[in-house]
Amino acid sequence: MKKLDDYVVKEHLLPFLGGFLVLTVIMILDRVFDLLDLFLRKGIKFLIVLKVFLYSLPFIVALTVPMAVLISTLMAFGRLAQDFEILAMKSFGISLKRILLGPMVFGFLVFVLMSIFNNTILPESNHRLKNLLIDIHEKKPVARIREGVFTSIENFLIYVRRKNEKTSEIRDVMIQQILEDGRVRTVFARKGRVVSERDKLVFYLENGEVHETEGPRKENYRVIRFRQQVITIPVNYRLIMHEREYRGDREMSASMLLARIKSLKKEIERFGKKDPGKVRFMKKRISQLWVEIHKKFSIPFAAIAFILMGAPIAVMTRKSGFSTAFGFSFLLFMLYYIFLVGGEELADRAIVPPLLAIWFPNILFIGIGLYLLKREENV
């Protein structure tokens, strides 16, 4: 029977690796355009962009590994069913449950490894990625300028109502400059373009006005209208890496999250009935932290749930092609993701307990899988 287990597991390996590579490439492609934007248009050095890419990979891997397990299960059991090998095994008295033993061991191994990955590598990469993106936005003013937000750069205050991230075109612009003598110069323009040029930020403005005061007591007010105006702001483009101690929920390991929960519980005990509003907020915060803890283990556990559900589906459909497996896996994973996101939202609001909300997709898929398995055994 060991040879049977080895044979079935080997049928999973190539589809698993192929599915993992394809899914990872698809998700990377979605990220590539943002990375190219940083490199080509915003002038971020290639090595910095490469770091952003590498720090983004663990998040992608955390999602694609369970999905690859589902693809490999559909392909392996679809091929075995299509070639009547499942039927041959059944004729020798080997049940589908017994055939699943090897893949289940494989799924459990994926669960353990990905749980460790999600609890160590993923939080650290999320933390470093956030720090790096903050540093980029601090040292790259073009990246910092956003629609409808006042941005301070050197002694300039900048506001744009509309900004095209691809072309750097800006509309309804206001640039306020504090001069050395304390006077304020304000430039208004209907439209323009902003670009980075080495150690300066250049605004090419069109159809606007310059407002400034003059005189010893600033008693005179002057307005100059222009068709075209160039404003140059000297900036420091040197990217300095900062290590920030504060970590968000997704940047902490399970032990860090548990420590934070313990601290909040002490705060609740201390406040008691003195501040009900704050106590409610802290309870909701505890629920959010538990959500992140459960996600570190529930998403890897999906590998086991996908095997239990995918195997009987593949045997019943008898389809082994990659496109069929990918299509089925995409639909199933979308269903899983909808339940996961919905549960997370309910748990974050403390409407549903985090344990039930985050593990419900796994419970549902395992339940459906066991039902289909029993049904297939009775055929």
Each residue's pLDDT tens digit, 245-287: 678 888 899 999 999 999 888 888 876 666 677 778 888 899 9
Let me know: does 15 contact 310? Beta carbons within 8 Å: no
Identify whether residues 127 and 226 lie together within a single domain.
no
Span 45-91, pLDDT tens digits = 788 888 888 999 999 999 999 999 999 999 999 888 888 888 888 88
- For 156, the domain range is 144-234
CA distance 180 to 108: 67
Q: Residue 296, SS3?
A: helix
Decide which of 189, 206, 234 is a domain's last residue: 234
47 and 156 share one domain: no
Percentage of the chain beyond pLDDT 70 is: 88
| Identity of residue 178 | I
Above 50 in pLDDT, residue 100? yes
199 inside domain: yes
Do both 158 and 133 map to the same domain?
no
Averaged over 352-368, what is the pLDDT? 95
Q: Out of 234, 255, 281, pick the residue that ends a domain.
A: 234
Count of C-beta atoms within a 10 Å radius of residue 250 = 15
Pairing of strands 220-234, 200-214: antiparallel
pLDDT tens-digit map of 212-232: 877 666 667 888 899 998 988
Q: What is the C-alpha R_g of the chain?
A: 29
- Count of C-beta atoms within a 10 Å radius of residue 79: 19
pTM above 0.85, yes or no: no
Pairing of strands 200-214, 184-197: antiparallel
Q: Is the dihedral of CA 15, 16, 18, 24 positive or negative?
A: positive
DSSP 249: G
